[in-house]
Amino acid sequence: MSKTVVLHNVAKKYKMYNRTSEKLLDIFLPKGYGEDFYALRNITFEAESGDVIGIVGVNGSGKSTLSNIISGIIPPTSGTIEINGEVALIAISSGLDNQLTGRENIELKCLMLGFNKKQIKELEPEIIEFAELGKFIDQPVKNYSSGMKSRLGFAISVNIDPDILIIDEALSVGDKIFADKCEAKMNEFKEKGKTIFFISHSLKQIKTFCEKALWIEYGEVRAYGTIEEVVPKYEKFLKSFKAMSDVERKEYREKVMKKRSTVFEPSEA
């Protein structure tokens, strides 16, 4: 087994502004302006080839930020990232140009990845067949439903054969038939020794597809291990979170918000 993704003390910091004018102050004042907010901090973990890792965590915990950092879409503020292989991200909201047709999107994505025209012509029918969009393949993507967009994104990403595949909520909008087909494709990937990250709010899907789980809790790794180790702990947390009164939940959120806004020194973990 070889390491495909290695993150060490990764943090992503954003500035929070109350008004647009504060953004200008941040640019012009020597010490900057605005409150710091850590979307992620102290993220340290490793993934190997053949790993299928479910990323879990409540809304706003940092799952999408992490998938964007692993895909290279956004840079981290600090920390180190080692990626060994080609990464493909499948997310509902990213990667497709709404003005172009499905077929044009396939061609554009392949061109951006360095495929030549001949290779694209060979790949195109496979992608179109997997996406099952029928005549819609020549319609602009803006006319697609969210499930259709997800199918196209999935079809392109799996057929270009990446080494590391990140699926961010993309299956949540698909139907059962497509989810089954994606599961088969993911198993094929797993057998080929690729690494898959799977983000979903459905613990049922996480348990079906994944062998490992990474629990991100308000920007930090709360647990990383096998599904059997991590998911019961996360379920227990969800239960206690749901059982909180409105006041308790507000206090909890404020405590977390304060923690995520404080200046932070990465641990030497």
Ligand X SMILES: Nc1ncnc2c1ncn2[C@@H]1O[C@H](COP(=O)(O)OP(=O)(O)OP(=O)(O)O)[C@@H](O)[C@H]1O
SS3 (DSSP) at 240: helix
Residue 116 phi, psi dihedral angles, 5° rounding: -90, 175
Cα–Cα distance for residue pair 168/170, rounded to 1 Å? 5
Per-residue tokens: 175: 């139907």
To the nearest whole angstrom, how small is the minimum distance from the Cβ of residue 57 to ligand X? 5
> Which of residues 39 and 87 has its CB atom nearest to ligand X in the complex?
39
> Which of residues 68 and 105 has its CB atom nearest to ligand X in the complex?
68
> Which of residues 4 and 65 has its CB atom nearest to ligand X in the complex?
65
Tally the residues of the chain: 269
| Nearest partner of 241 among 9, 60, 14, 17, judged by Cα | 60
To the nearest whole angstrom, how small is the minimum distance from the Cβ of residue 191 to ligand X? 29
Q: Could you say whether residue 14 binds ligand X (CB under 6 A)?
A: yes
> Which of residues 44 and 77 has its CB atom nearest to ligand X in the complex?
77
Q: Total residues contacting ligand X (rule CB under 6 A)?
A: 11
SS3 (DSSP) at 8: strand
CA torsion angle 70 88 177 186 (round to 10): -80
To the nearest whole angstrom, how small is the minimum distance from the Cβ of residue 65 to ligand X? 3
Residue pair 82/6 in contact by the 8 Å Cβ criterion: yes
To the nearest whole angstrom, how small is the minimum distance from the Cβ of residue 54 to ligand X? 13
> Which of residues 13 and 194 has its CB atom nearest to ligand X in the complex?
13
> Which of residues 65 and 159 has its CB atom nearest to ligand X in the complex?
65
Residue 119 phi, psi dihedral angles, 5° rounding: -60, -40
Q: Could you say whether residue 252 binds ligand X (CB under 6 A)?
A: no
To the nearest whole angstrom, how small is the minimum distance from the Cβ of residue 231 to ligand X? 17
- Within 16-75, which residues bind ligand X (CB under 6 A)? 37, 39, 57, 59-65
> Which of residues 23 and 236 has its CB atom nearest to ligand X in the complex?
23
To the nearest whole angstrom, how small is the minimum distance from the Cβ of residue 216 to ligand X? 7
Long-range contacts of 230-233 (CB under 8 A, 24+ apart): 230/56, 231/56, 231/203, 231/206, 231/207
Per-residue tokens: 151: 């199918």
> Which of residues 62 and 76 has its CB atom nearest to ligand X in the complex?
62
Integer CA distances (angstroms), 257 to 9, 11, 32, in order: 20, 16, 21
SS3 (DSSP) at 81: strand
To the nearest whole angstrom, how small is the minimum distance from the Cβ of residue 114 to ligand X? 29
To the nearest whole angstrom, how small is the minimum distance from the Cβ of residue 116 to ligand X? 35
Q: Is the C-alpha dihedral spanning 233, 239, 244, 250 positive or negative?
A: positive
Given the rule CB under 6 A, which residues bind ligand X?
Answer: 14, 37, 39, 57, 59-65
